[in-house]
Structure 1
Amino acid sequence: MPRTVRKEDLPTSSEIDLLCSALLSADEDAADRIILAARRDGVNIETIYLGYVAGAATKLGVMWEEDQVSFVDVTLASGRLYRIIRGLRHIVASSLIDGRAMRPALFALVPGETHTLGIEMATDLFRREGWDIDMAVGTSHDALIEQSEDRHYRAIILVANSDRMIEPLTRLVLALRITQPLAHLVVAGSILQHYPDIQRLVGADAVMKDIKGAMATLRSILTEDPSEDD
Structure 2
Amino acid sequence: MAVGAWRHFSQGFELDAASLECGPSPATALNPDLVVDDVSFVRGDLSRLIEGEILPRLMLVHQEAVRPSRLLVERRPTPEQIATFSALLLDPAAEDVTGHVLGLLDGGLSLDGLLLELLTPAARELGRLWEEDECDFVDVTVALGRLHAVARTLCGRLESEAWGPHGRSILLVPCPGETHIFCLSIVASFFREAGWDVTTGDADSGFDLLRAEWFDVVGLTLSCDVLLPGLADTVRAMRKVSCNRGVRVMVGGPLFVRHPEQLHASGADAMAEDARIAPRIAESLLEKQAQAC
TM-score (norm 1): 0.49
Greater fraction of residues in helix = 1
Larger Rg, first or second structure (1 or 2): 2
TM-score (norm 2): 0.39
Query: Which has the higher relative contact order, 1 or 2, with Cα contacts under 8 A spaced 6 or more apart?
Result: 2
